[in-house]
């Protein structure tokens, strides 16, 4: 059975995902789209040549009879409302990160999903599907590095739009690392601290940038992440794991080494689209096939919640300048 998908939010990633579903992946089609900016929804349909209905509201799209699954790709603060509505309507829902911008919001989603009695939600933590991160995880799981002692990481974007404000460095940007490291280490966070450097002149007035996030896990692994969202030069994701027996680096994206005019150079990607293209394909194809089979297996609402619990502590630490505890409740049996 082809899974009929409705897309809420036809901005950058809404269009990217719609394109991959239409042109690259199998077993799904886009039948409905919605965006607060209706012109944009119509424009996306035209650009991709979709045979899809435009709905004036996300709510109407979710309730449409011919929609089997919903893709939520609107702004982060709007995700909770749409995911809750999709659960209520009994639709599978793939929600881009963050699941909700607070742990409280994620808790409401888990409560609704548990009340529905089956997993309906997958969160867009695509790094779990990235080849490089899987090389890191395989070597750590095989014990090749011994105990992981430290992780040094960086998440750099060339620029961010005017609507990007300081807490978004946590729940829109760092949220990827918050999920990735608990998955890599099979551990949870114990505390978080944030230190701001001198502000870059390239950041607009509402965002303090860059910043250094320091995390400690319950087993005592120390993690530092530089979040720098106006670095100008490119989209650059770095991760080095320091273990008792060795050190492993996340592979750089493959690129041509050019020797020219007295210089040796490699291109640096400018945004997230190409950097994680294969991972996006794998995660969404997995979601489609799991929805067909009636059993979701990808990152769950619990994963969205766990990252948000740590995210809340980081936002608090941005404001307080103190080390903030992260207290993670027990995982409900439903999510084991
Ligand atoms: P964007 O601004 O390009 O697109 C968002 C779209 O949502 C816009 O068209 C906007 O009009 C629409 N929108 C806003 N509020 C809405 C509402 N209430 N109802 C319906 N539509 C609404 O942003 P984007 O870069 O595409 O990001 C969208 C989401 O995807 C964010 O949560 C972001 O964090 C996530 N994202 C994830 C990745 C990733 O690597 N996994 C990459 C990019 C974006
Ligand atoms: C964007 O929303 C993403 O999710 C990208 O993966 C991320 O790296 C970038 O910082 C965000 O703006």
306 is written with which tokens?
């766990």
CATH of the domain at 207: 3.30.360.10
Rg from Cα positions in the chain = 20
Secondary structure in 3-state letters for 4-20: EEEEECCCHHHHHHHHH
DSSP H stretches of helix in 89-174: 103-116, 131-141, 168
pLDDT of res. 288: 98
Nearest-atom number in ligand 2 for the CA of 164 is: 12
315 and 256 co-located in one domain:
yes
45 and 34 co-located in one domain:
yes
70 and 150 co-located in one domain:
no
What is the distance in A from the centroid of ligand 2 to the CA of 143?
A: 30
16 is written with which tokens?
């990217």
pLDDT of res. 209: 98
Alpha-carbon distance of 225 to 34, in angstroms, equals: 35
Q: Which residues make beta-bridge pairs with 266?
A: 257
113 and 10 co-located in one domain:
yes
205 and 293 co-located in one domain:
no
21 and 120 co-located in one domain:
yes
User: Which ligand lies nearest to the CA atom of residue 163 in the structure?
Assistant: 1
Alpha-carbon distance of 203 to 165, in angstroms, equals: 10
274 is written with which tokens?
């190409």
163 and 259 co-located in one domain:
yes
CATH of the domain at 59: 3.40.50.720
Angle ∠(311,104,239) on CA atoms, nearest 5 = 20
| Closest CA to ligand 2's atom 5 | 272
Q: How many domains is the chain partitioned into structurally? A: 2
224 and 186 co-located in one domain:
yes
User: Given CA atoms 117, 120, 124, 127 in this order, what sign does their dihedral have?
Assistant: positive
DSSP codes of every residue in 204-273 = -TT----EEEEEEETT--EEEEEEETT-SS--EEEEEEEESS-EEEPPPPP--EEEETTEEEE---SSHH
What is the distance in A from the centroid of ligand 1 to the CA of 9?
A: 6
| Closest CA to ligand 2's atom 2 | 172
pLDDT of res. 63: 98
38 and 59 co-located in one domain:
yes
Residue by residue, pLDDT tens for the chain (336 residues) are: 899 999 999 999 999 999 999 999 999 999 999 999 999 999 999 999 999 999 999 999 999 999 999 999 999 999 999 999 999 999 999 999 999 999 999 999 999 999 999 999 999 999 999 999 999 999 999 999 999 999 999 999 999 999 999 999 999 999 999 999 999 999 999 999 999 999 999 999 999 999 999 999 999 999 999 999 999 999 999 999 999 999 999 999 999 999 999 999 999 999 999 999 999 999 999 999 999 999 999 999 999 999 999 999 999 999 999 999 999 999 999 999
312 and 182 co-located in one domain:
yes
34 and 94 co-located in one domain:
yes
* Structural domain of 286: 3-126+277-300
- Ligand 1 contact via 126 beta carbon (within 6 Å): yes
144 and 244 co-located in one domain:
yes
- Ligand 2 contact via 283 beta carbon (within 6 Å): no
């Amino acid at each position: 059975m082809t899974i009929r998908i409705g897309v809420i939010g036809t901005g950058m990633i809404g269009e990217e995902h719609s394109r991959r579903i239409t042109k690259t992946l199998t077993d799904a089609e886009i039948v409905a789209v919605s965006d607060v900016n209706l012109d944009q929804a119509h424009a996306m349909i035209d650009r991709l040549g979709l045979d899809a209905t435009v709905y004036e509201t996300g709510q109407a799209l979710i309730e449409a009879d011919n929609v089997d699954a919903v893709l939520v790709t609107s702004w982060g603060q709007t995700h909770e409302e749409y995911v809750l509505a999709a659960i209520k309507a009994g639709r599978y829902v793939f929600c881009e990160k963050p699941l909700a911008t607070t742990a409280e919001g994620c808790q409401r989603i888990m409560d609704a999903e548990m009340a529905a009695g089956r997993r309906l939600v997958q969160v867009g933590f695509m790094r779990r599907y990235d080849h490089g991160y899987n090389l890191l995880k395989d070597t750590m799981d095989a014990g090749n590095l011994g105990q992981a002692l430290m992780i040094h990481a960086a998440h750099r974007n060339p620029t961010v739009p005017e609507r990007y404000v300081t807490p978004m460095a946590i729940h829109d940007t760092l949220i990827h690392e918050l999920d990735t490291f608990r998955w890599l280490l099979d551990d949870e966070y114990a505390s978080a601290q944030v230190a701001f450097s001198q502000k870059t002149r390239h950041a607009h007035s509402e965002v303090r940038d860059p910043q250094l996030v320091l995390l400690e896990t319950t087993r005592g692994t120390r993690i530092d992440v530089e979040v720098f969202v106006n670095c100008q030069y490119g989209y650059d994701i770095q991760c080095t794991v320091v273990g008792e027996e060795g050190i492993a680096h996340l592979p750089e994206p493959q690129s041509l080494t050019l020797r020219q005019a007295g210089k040796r150079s490699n291109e640096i990607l400018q945004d997230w689209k190409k950097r994680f293209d294969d991972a996006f394909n794998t995660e969404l194809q997995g979601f489609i096939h799991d929805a067909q089979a009636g059993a979701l297996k990808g990152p769950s609402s619990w994963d969205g919640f766990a990252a948000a619990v740590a995210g809340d502590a980081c936002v608090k630490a941005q404001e307080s300048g103190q080390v903030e505890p992260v207290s993670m409740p027990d995982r409900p049996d439903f999510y084991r």
